[in-house]
Structure 1
Amino acid sequence: MHKPTLLAAAITGCFILPSAAFAQSTAPKTGEVDTVTVRGSILPYKLEHIPGSTSVLDTEQLEAQRPFSIKEALRTVPGVHVVDEDSFGLGLNIGIRGLNPRRTSRTLLLEDGMPLFLAPYGDPSAHYSTPIDRVERIEVVKGSGQVLYGPQTIGGMINFVTKPIPKKGVAGSVSATWGNNDYQGLHANVGVGGEMGGVMLDVIEKKGDGVRKNHDFDVFEVSMKGQLNINRDHTLIGKIGHYKEDSHITETGLGSVEYAEDKFQAPTGRNDRFLHERNSLQLQHIFQINDAAKLSTQAYYVDADRASFRQISDPGQNAGRSRLDQCDPTSLRNNLANADQCGGRWRPRDYRYWGIEPRLDFKHNTFGIASDAVIGFRYHEEDIKRNQFRDTDPRIQNLSFTRSLIGQNGTVGHREQIDITVEAKSYYVQNTFYVGDFSITPGVRYEDLKIKTDVRRAEGQPQDNPESFLNNNQSKVLPGFGIAWNGIQNTTVFAGVHKGFAPPRPDRDIVAPGGANTANVNKTRPEESTNWELGLRSSYFKGISLQSTLFYTDFDQIVIEDNGRFFNGGKSEQTGLEVAGRIDFGQLYNSTHNIYLTGSWTNLFSAKFKRDVAEENIVSGNRLPYAPKHLLSVAVGYQNPHGFDARLGADRVSEQFADGENTRVENLTGQEGTIPSYTVFNATMNFRPQGSKTSYFLSAYNLTDREYLVSRVDGKFAGRARQVIAGIRYAF
């Protein structure tokens, strides 16, 4: 058993067993327990004192939109760019304020405050995100409040708050959904709760065809959440989860010729495969010391295995067509009948991480000023094992056979093994002073981390030279300061600045040009930024809400990826304006029939490099890749008092560059060239008869079935064609 597993088990025992005994022997009489309402929220439900840009998508908004996945929901948030590379968010690509969205590596993802990445420090890639079915509320933070969280604090932070345990008796729901592209989904939720706490079970399964042909997927998740209110001062919360994905979604895009022939083809999709299994444990103890102080201690453990098989890794190399890596080099894309007899490459990777974080929140009156303070510390460890196998033997398409090749040398067999370990300590403190109509919030975070990269095998050869092992130790002080003014009713004016940080990226693919003992690990410095904001949130007028933020990000040591290797590319900057608002005419005219308008717009004035990078042909002034100047999401909706509502929306993304060189002419691989602007329409209808526990809904994306390009990272990727989903939900 792994050391983190033992620790997690020990923590579980320390929390659960003594607590159960304590509850049994000292539980107060009925009616004497002050039940603690526990949520995974990182934001207060009143935002007037937050000195930074925030967005919250609550249950009402999510039900009105009926998004297929997290991706569709986040498109309505200003400043957020989502690349629609797959069907239902199995691999999220989210960029905030001009940062590269690839696998969401520069945006911190949390579930109830727990990190979600494969490895938050060593491999911040989002191959998993909380299913939208379990989400009650989505919180997006882009301002100086990020000093309380980490390690990714450059672009922003997204927290998925899961649905709470029932408070009174048994409650739950069963939902079933169907759609074109053979889509079907099932979600069952049941829980029971009372004054002493409760327990809740979620089961989710979704399957169907992906954006491209032969990209079918099947995902399954089961999770359980429990809460024990020992007495008015002590509360325990626990959550466990198991997730499994088996899909034929390949990361290899299309060459220019292939894309022109059929945008939705996947030359080897029937053989390519992606397997992902994730187990998680989250525990929290809340000690309400008194009315002015609360100590919460969170512990978490995640064990994830992911493996991807590809028969093609380089798109469009031969006259704009792909060829099979481990077959006859003359075998072209249009002659793949023998693909089952071909080899390929597996990339199995194992991730383990765990952490513990005590945090003290308390009120005080130091210097005679009313204040709220937060002091916390987190200890975090990661253990990452990356392997790559390559062989011409068609049996390599079976992962079990592939693992039998461990230790084989040469250009086939066990090609690569990289072990990465991380130890990180984070300290943070923040204080909010309340002076009249002003809230003044200084804070600081300190990150101290050690990343060890050990290349044990590269290019099929063992490696034990000094250059194949690297210690990358970093420590950073990350201050933040914000101020909010509430001198006008239901209005907040805010300004803030904070130091952003992203850990140094360990190399993912290592080249050993001379075979044994020639691998060289590249050391990168952490990415740093200075983030400025000036903004306004207001609901001064009845039925009208508005938020607007002017932002400037001065980026230092941006990291550039080149075929799995990372190196620093110097300085860049992003400047822009975010605007979002909503008008409810039902409130304006005191009508139970409500027509509403919503919209969000991001104008990224500037997103450019500030330094020449000769090796990448990057010139100072070039625009950052995947940083569209305009993002627009608008919708009109109608809410009927008899249980019917409908919504029609549109999402527009302006032109983007696919590389730092700002290439406009497309090459045969499809990896170079621009990504043209596009607009996609969507619609939703919900109906719940009065007095009924059953609701019905219909949701559609890309109503006009427009063909559009979304990515060139590994070749050309088309956006999703028209997708329609119908569903029924019974709540009890």
Structure 2
Amino acid sequence: MKSITRQFSWPLSLLAVAVALAQPTRAEERTEDETAKKEKVSLSATVIKGDVLGQATDEEVRTYAGSRSVVKREDLEKASVRGLDDALQRVPGVKVFDETGTGVLPQISVRGLYESRSGRVQVLSDGIPLSLSPYGQTSLSLFPQTLATVERIDIVRGGAAVQYGPNNVGGVINFISKPIPKKWENNLGERITFSPAGRQLYDSYLSTGGQVTDSLGLFFEYNTKNGHYDREHSDTDVENIRLRGQWDIDDNRSLSFGVQRYEADMDLAGALSKADYKHDRRDSTRQLDRFEGDTNRLWGTYKQYLGSLGFADDVEFSLTSFGHHSHRNFYVGLDSKSQFTPDADPAYLQDAPRSYQVWGIEPRVSFTLYGDKVNQTWLIGGRYVREDTQFKVLKKNLATSLESTVRDWDFDTEGKATYISNAISMLDGRLTVTPGIRHERVHMDYSNAVTGLKTENLNDEWLPGISAGYQLTDQWFLFGDAQRSLRVPQITSIVYDGEVGAEVAWNYEAGFRYTPQSNLRFDFNLYRIDFDDQIEYNSRTTKYENVGKTRHQGFETEIFWTPAIIPTLDLHAGYAYLDAEYRSGVNKGNDLKMASQSQLTVDGRWRFAQGWTYTLDGLFVSEAYSDEANTHDEDAAGKVGKLPSYWVWNTSLERKFKLNGGEDELSTSIGINNLFDYEYYFRGIDTSPWGRQPAPGRTVTVAANYRF
């Protein structure tokens, strides 16, 4: 892969404003679940802090005023987990369309909100946006995050829209990095995944870091993926390099920072025709399809505690800056009609290189006004983002070698967000009501070098929200929230001559968490999303279309139980029910495409002997339609047709060894994903939209990590 030097440019900022929701007292993160289980269930009074998401500790989750789930470190370390997207589909309401089994190009849908390359999910890494363009292209067609670098995943499905926007209709997913250790340590890790026909994928990890001085900590990570996934034409080469630091300047000031270089180059096996799928689902008929991308990223957050300033107490200020320079390209073979027919000989090679320069700055201040019976925590802040995107579509005639430029676009986007919230704490902190409002003003300029066309678009929206959390008793926590969400016009819809209007939605939630004892917790929430002017891609017309109003409603529930008679056994189950339908237009009353009505997940973890752990988990996803018309039968080209339901089981066995007097640790594991080799498929994805996209079959993974 080629190495490219990028220059980051940093603008001065626009101050702005933000929301604080009910959050618990700051607590040290527990490194082992067993510690939490030994503590009393009773919760202290809720205290608001500036960062809504926090560190996703058990206490933060239990007192969060919205639906929320966490994928913990021990779940990510299982050898049966192939990637971050694979881990996410164990969460109720999160559906993953697994294209490769590598996690390099995730296809994530939350609550039936589907779009290519996870375009309807707000994804963060330690609070920093991961999308190529936070406004203009929300999809993850370049995903600079790897499994080995993540400590846990925080999935917030509601209540965070005021502070974390835009594109948060389905919620926010935050990947939390491994912490910088207090004592210097090193890690050497290797995961090898074996697929049929002798294919292997190697996932290698190296890290070193700790406290350089009493106030400065550094952490370096190097992670690569090389080899093949379980299909023909699947060569994969990924490199992820990160350096992060934490400088505690003094008792009141700190600076966290990071720099990253990420590269990915992989062949894409693509979708198959119905006949080819039945003949050999591991084959590939799209030998020209390929993806490549790279990014340089830089970020930092300065925090300062100002104490009391006369008008308020507990005043805190933070300033976050981030930027990246990225490039990505998809190469696609097209037939003689310039279509994506999976079983036709290619006549053209099309590639779509895109270059992105993004920089942003986000200041924020929070303070508390204490009263006799009511406390108020205000949060005021905002964000300024600049995006510059160059988009081309080039096509080469394979017979004549003639090349033509189909598109040559330039996008210049300026996003200004301000937000403010007031967390009002009453009844000795047991009830917290947090009204807030966000204002988004986004100016987008487009120019077409081929036609000379120039257009501009201005979106100006007020996005109110309110949440409430009530600690009824030490066992019962009740919550509810309502918020308005926005997604501005996307680059992709514009280049396909599609709809360019903004999408807005109202989200509503109500639920509870019930913790009768330390070894049992039950979560339940109802939700509804009313979407106006939802825009979807029509694979038959290859255009984005406004499908009008849609409604998503349902419930999600989870139960966590460690039986008292078997304290080494942890059981978990989750279920999500979704009723998603079109509410206007010719397809009124039909189910939303790609939206499955039911999703069930069950898993168990048994710790036995000394250092041994066995896990078993299962996932059921019900059938779904793949087009707005709800066509049941699959057509000849595989553009439409009902997608089958599927049951997938995974298992793993782990063993940890304490070495060097307990100072060092060797972790070993073996896992099987798709234990029974269940055959199922999705509709074609993104650059291969027609036909059947085979889901990964059975794979066996062996893994080892040495910490010293």
TM-score, normalised by the number of residues in structure 1: 0.84
The CA distance in 2 between the partners of 1:358 and 1:2, in whole Å, is: 29
Q: 2:672 aligns with which of 700, 703, 719?
A: 700
TM-superposed deviation, 1:510: 4.5
TM-superposed deviation, 1:660: 0.6
**Which residue does the alignment assign to 1:118?**
132
**Which residue does the alignment assign to 2:190?**
176
**Which residue does the alignment assign to 1:545?**
521
The CA distance in 2 between the partners of 1:286 and 1:432, in whole Å, is: 21
Q: 1:452 aligns with which of 441, 445, 454?
A: 445
Q: 1:262 aligns with which of 280, 296, 314?
A: 280
| Paired residues for 1:514-529 under 5 Å | 522-529=498-505
**Which residue does the alignment assign to 2:252?**
233
Q: Deviations over 1:386-407 (max 9, x none)?
A: 11111125897xxxxxxxxxxx
Deviation larger for 154-163 or 123-132:
123-132
| Higher helix residue share | 1
Q: Deviations over 1:106-148 (max 9, x none)?
A: 1100001111112121111113052111111211111222211
Q: 1:182 aligns to what SS in structure 2?
A: strand
1:276 pairs with 2:297: no
1:533 pairs with 2:509: yes
For the aligned residues, what is the CA RMSD?
Answer: 2.6
Q: 2:162 aligns to what SS in structure 1?
A: helix
Q: What letter is aligned with 2:507?
A: N
Q: 1:381 aligns with which of 380, 386, 393?
A: 386
Alignment check: 8 A CA contact 1:54 1:142 kept: yes
Q: 1:416 aligns with which of 407, 420, 430?
A: 407
Alignment check: 8 A CA contact 1:453 1:506 kept: no
Q: 1:195 aligns with which of 214, 220, 241?
A: 214
TM-superposed deviation, 1:265: 1.8
Alignment check: 8 A CA contact 1:315 1:669 kept: no
**Which residue does the alignment assign to 1:16?**
none
| Paired residues for 1:210-609 under 5 Å | 210-250=229-269, 252-269=270-287, 271-290=288-307, 292-312=314-334, 322-326=343-347, 344-365=349-370, 369-393=374-398, 412-436=403-427, 437-457=430-450, 463-464=451-452, 468-508=453-493, 510=495, 522-562=498-538, 565-585=543-563, 588-589=564-565, 594-604=568-578, 606-609=579-582
Q: What letter is aligned with 2:237?
A: D
Gaps of 5+ in 2: 14-49, 308-312
TM-superposed deviation, 1:541: 2.1
Q: What letter is aligned with 1:277?
A: D
Q: 1:103 aligns to what SS in structure 2?
A: helix
Alignment check: 8 A CA contact 1:312 1:322 kept: no
TM-superposed deviation, 1:364: 1.8
Q: What letter is aligned with 2:554?
A: G
Q: Deviations over 1:431-452 (max 9, x none)?
A: 2111113111111111110111
Deviation larger for 660-669 or 411-420:
411-420
1:665 pairs with 2:638: no
Q: 2:148 aligns to what SS in structure 1?
A: helix
Q: Deviations over 1:611-648 (max 9, x none)?
A: 114xxxxx200100110000111112201261111111
Q: 2:109 aligns with which of 73, 88, 95?
A: 95
The CA distance in 1 between the partners of 2:286 and 2:468, in whole Å, is: 55
| Paired residues for 1:38-77 under 5 Å | 42=54, 45=57, 46-47=59-60, 48-63=62-77, 67-77=81-91
TM-superposed deviation, 1:707: 1.2
Q: 1:5 aligns with which of 4, 8, 12?
A: 8
Q: What letter is aligned with 1:718?
A: P
**Residues 712, 214 of structure 1: CA spacing in aligned structure 2 closer, same or farther, 3 A cutoff?**
closer
Larger CA Rg, structure 1 vs 2: 1
Indicate the structure whose relative CO is greater, using CA pairs within 8 Å and at least 6 residues apart: 2
**Which residue does the alignment assign to 1:340?**
none
The CA distance in 2 between the partners of 1:260 and 1:85, in whole Å, is: 18
The CA distance in 2 between the partners of 1:313 and 1:43, in whole Å, is: 50
TM-superposed deviation, 1:608: 0.3
Deviation larger for 80-89 or 258-267:
258-267
| Paired residues for 1:574-723 under 5 Å | 574-585=552-563, 588-589=564-565, 594-604=568-578, 606-613=579-586, 619-640=587-608, 642-690=610-658, 691=662, 693-713=665-685, 714=689, 715-723=691-699
Alignment check: 8 A CA contact 1:65 1:73 kept: no
Q: What letter is aligned with 1:426?
A: A
The CA distance in 1 between the partners of 2:51 and 2:90, in whole Å, is: 24
**Which residue does the alignment assign to 1:403?**
none
Q: 2:556 aligns to what SS in structure 1?
A: strand
Alignment check: 8 A CA contact 1:700 1:723 kept: yes
TM-superposed deviation, 1:502: 1.2
The CA distance in 2 between the partners of 1:64 and 1:264, in whole Å, is: 25
Q: 2:383 aligns to what SS in structure 1?
A: strand
The CA distance in 1 between the partners of 2:161 and 2:394, in whole Å, is: 40
Q: 1:569 aligns to what SS in structure 2?
A: strand
Alignment check: 8 A CA contact 2:6 2:325 kept: no
Q: 2:548 aligns to what SS in structure 1?
A: coil
Alignment check: 8 A CA contact 1:244 1:278 kept: yes
Gaps of 5+ in 1: 12-37, 327-342, 397-410, 458-462, 512-520, 614-618
Q: Deviations over 1:551-607 (max 9, x none)?
A: 11111110122355333221010110101111112xx23x5x512211111011x20
TM-superposed deviation, 1:507: 4.5
Alignment check: 8 A CA contact 2:503 2:535 kept: yes
The CA distance in 1 between the partners of 2:53 and 2:337, in whole Å, is: 43
TM-score, normalised by the number of residues in structure 2: 0.86
Q: Deviations over 1:360-415 (max 9, x none)?
A: 1222226962122221110001111111111125897xxxxxxxxxxxxxx84222
Q: Deviations over 1:443-500 (max 9, x none)?
A: 111111011121222xxxxx12xxx322110111111111111121143111111112
**Residues 204, 434 of structure 1: CA spacing in aligned structure 2 closer, same or farther, 3 A cutoff?**
same
TM-superposed deviation, 1:545: 1.3
Q: What letter is aligned with 2:326?
A: A
**Residues 313, 95 of structure 1: CA spacing in aligned structure 2 closer, same or farther, 3 A cutoff?**
farther
TM-superposed deviation, 1:533: 0.7
Q: Percent identity?
A: 25
Alignment check: 8 A CA contact 1:258 1:321 kept: no
Q: 1:657 aligns to what SS in structure 2?
A: coil
The CA distance in 2 between the partners of 1:639 and 1:474, in whole Å, is: 54
| Higher strand residue share | 2
Alignment check: 8 A CA contact 1:256 1:667 kept: no
**Residues 44, 220 of structure 1: CA spacing in aligned structure 2 closer, same or farther, 3 A cutoff?**
closer
**Which residue does the alignment assign to 1:83?**
97
TM-superposed deviation, 1:286: 0.9
Alignment check: 8 A CA contact 1:499 1:531 kept: yes
Alignment check: 8 A CA contact 2:446 2:456 kept: yes
Q: 1:685 aligns to what SS in structure 2?
A: strand
